Chains A and B, each alone.
Chain A
Amino acid sequence: MSLDQRSVRTTAADSPDTVRPAVEIAALRKSFDKLEVLRGIDLVVAPHEVVCLIGSSGSGKSTLLRCINLIEPIDSGRILIDGVDITAPKVDVNKIRRRIGIVFQAFNLFPHMSVLDNVTLAPRKVLRTPSGRAAEEATELLARFGLEDKRDEFPDRLSGGQQQRVAIVRALAMRPDLMLLDEITSALDPELVAEVLNVVRELAGAGMTMIIATHEMGFARDIADRVGFLDAGRILEQGPPDRIFTEPTEVRTRQFLDRVIAAGRM
């Protein structure tokens, strides 16, 4: 399914029970040694829905995203992607990862490869797309995000914003059904943030299902269908951005938002 075909947007609110969730997380727990980072996460994401995760540093946002992509093994609970339990013992991890794109805070481009090779590596090696076609598709995607002239550059010659956009394109080249974005602008200079966020807006507009961990509250409010507040390893409160940002029910959410406002990040 190509991105452009999914222009019709459905949210959880539109059709609560009829659509099979894109992601369904139940009672997910994860600890590092003695530190319990996720203490029972329940989260349902509908197809084409954009969920933003907010919460203070160390609350477990990154860990949750890494668990969904199976980069981190989980201790207990279940994660269903499109109805398939990916935490079942015998699943093919590589196959599942293909359908989930993840972009990290640090760009993690492959420094020894050109932009084009960064983008085509996985399609060529994993999907076995012939190099010619992989290059064509990559060039098209790069053009869509204003990167066509950077095709043959190496990552160290790009700005942070360009690198991060390449990282997004690299994930998109696998035609994922779900994108996980982990604070993808927090390593960027302020003037570069907008270009990256615009890319994400375009993806949301095209109907990509996304879970986004972010410190950019304005952006979350603007783009999210739903905002989840993560606190001490639980999703303490979730709902439409307008409600969460203006009248949160939980004291901890209010405290967090007050701190964010005091820090001038909203």
Chain B
Amino acid sequence: MAGAISGGPGDSGLLIGLPGGGGRYGRERGSGALRSTLVAFVSTVVFLGVVALLVVNAPGWPAVQESFLNGRVFADSLPLIVRAFWVNVQLFLVSEVLILGFGLVIAVLRSLPGSVLFPIRLIATVYVDVFRALPGILIIYVLGFGIPGLGVTGVSKFVFAILALTLIYSAYVSEVYRAGINSIHPSQDAAARSLGLSRLQSMRHVVLPQAVRRVIPPLLNDFIGLQKDTVLVSYIGVVEIFRQAQIRQSASFNFTPYIVVALVFLLFTIPLARLTDVLVTRDQRRRATTAR
């Protein structure tokens, strides 16, 4: 133990082989980078291989394989689950549009000064505080079961689901917008106002276009969250991907449908996450070059 912590004489030799170790010698950067990549690749393969061997040789593996990676159940449930995912996509797309609009309205209302608007500002603030404080699932329950309980009938669960997701996420998104608005230097607003533009005109033509451009990466980040949270509405009975997987699972006494769900989400979410990263990096680079 003590040896592992303090490190043996072999440590320095190992360090040179690690990614970045070659950077010490500027002229050798090309071959150093190649070696780093190679080392990273080999160590990843070895690591995954060891993990796979350990898992496959574990005493419980055949049972796990049967209940989570059953090929027949996979093939049977795949079409149904993919079709159910279309419901998630619809939930996502419709609420995304609503969230972008509603969140923006809330952010603008909270950013406008003036005592006349105070009551509106207060309501907007309370809304944001409450909906960010409550667990999303609670809001979905209250809306999905509460409103029909009040005697409102003839409205589909889908509508409540959209409403709940919009209310939950608009609270977060409005804060993202607001951070963007606050990041625009007050001299921009002053310049617009000095030209005779009203508060709203200055907001609409000068502040918001700059603010929104700045917050696109964090907005995309929130939408990755929204994509995943669409499964929460399964709890009020909307038959979407997760609900469908539950149905398949109880029909087949097998957990493979959940693996299908996981794969679908990975395929759908990872590209968006990568896109967000690219945009964030580009944004940081641009800001670094334009900073005075």
- Residues of A with Cβ closer than 8 Å to B? 69, 71, 94-95, 97-98, 100-102, 104, 106, 108-112, 121-122, 125-127, 156, 170-171, 174
Contact = CB atoms under 8 A, between A and B. Distances in A.
B36 interface: no
B187 interface: yes
Given A121-B205, A125-B201, A126-B201, A97 B195 contact: yes
A110 B196 contact: no
Interface in B201-256: 201, 205-206, 209-210, 213
Given A126-B195, A126-B196, 15 more contacts: A71-B190, A94-B196, A94-B197, A94-B198, A98-B196, A101-B195, A102-B194, A108-B188, A108-B190, A109-B191, A111-B210, A121-B206, A122-B197, A126-B197, A126-B201
Given A110-B188, A156-B290, A171 B195 contact: yes
B92 to A, nearest CB: 29
Contacts of B195: 97-98, 101, 121-122, 126, 170-171, 174
A108 B197 contact: no
A108 B196 contact: no
A154 to B, nearest CB: 11
Contact of A71 (B193, B196, B206, B290): B193
A223 B210 CA distance: 38
A102 B196 CA distance: 11
Nearest to A180: B194
Contacts of A109: 191
Nearest to A107: B191
B202 to A, nearest CB: 9
Given A110-B206, A111-B210, A126-B201, A95 B196 contact: yes
B194 A112 contact: no
Contact of A174 (B193, B196, B213): B196
Contacts of B197: 94, 121-122, 125-126
B125 to A, nearest CB: 24
Contacts of B188: 108, 110
B72 to A, nearest CB: 57
A111 B290 CA distance: 11
A121 B213 CA distance: 19
Given A104-B187, A104-B191, A156-B290, A112 B196 contact: no
A104 B201 CA distance: 20
Nearest to B208: A112
Interface in B177-195: 187-188, 190-195
Given A110-B188, A112-B213, A156-B290, A97 B194 contact: yes
Nearest to B196: A98
Given A112-B210, A121-B205, A106 B196 contact: no
A98 B201 CA distance: 14
14 contacts: A71-B190, A94-B198, A102-B194, A104-B187, A108-B187, A110-B206, A110-B210, A111-B210, A112-B210, A121-B206, A125-B201, A125-B205, A127-B196, A171-B195
Contacts of A69: 194
A112 B205 CA distance: 10
A104 B189 CA distance: 13
Contacts of A110: 188, 191-192, 206, 210
A127 B205 CA distance: 15
Contacts of A106: 187
A97 B196 contact: yes
**8 A-B pairs with least C-beta separation:** A98-B196, A122-B195, A108-B191, A126-B196, A97-B196, A102-B194, A108-B187, A112-B209
A202 B190 CA distance: 26
Contacts of A97: 193-196
Nearest to A126: B196
Nearest to A97: B196
Nearest to A102: B194
Interface string B93-135: 0000000000000000000000000000000000000000000
A166 to B, nearest CB: 12
A168 to B, nearest CB: 12
A102 B191 CA distance: 8
A217 B198 CA distance: 36
A46 B206 CA distance: 34
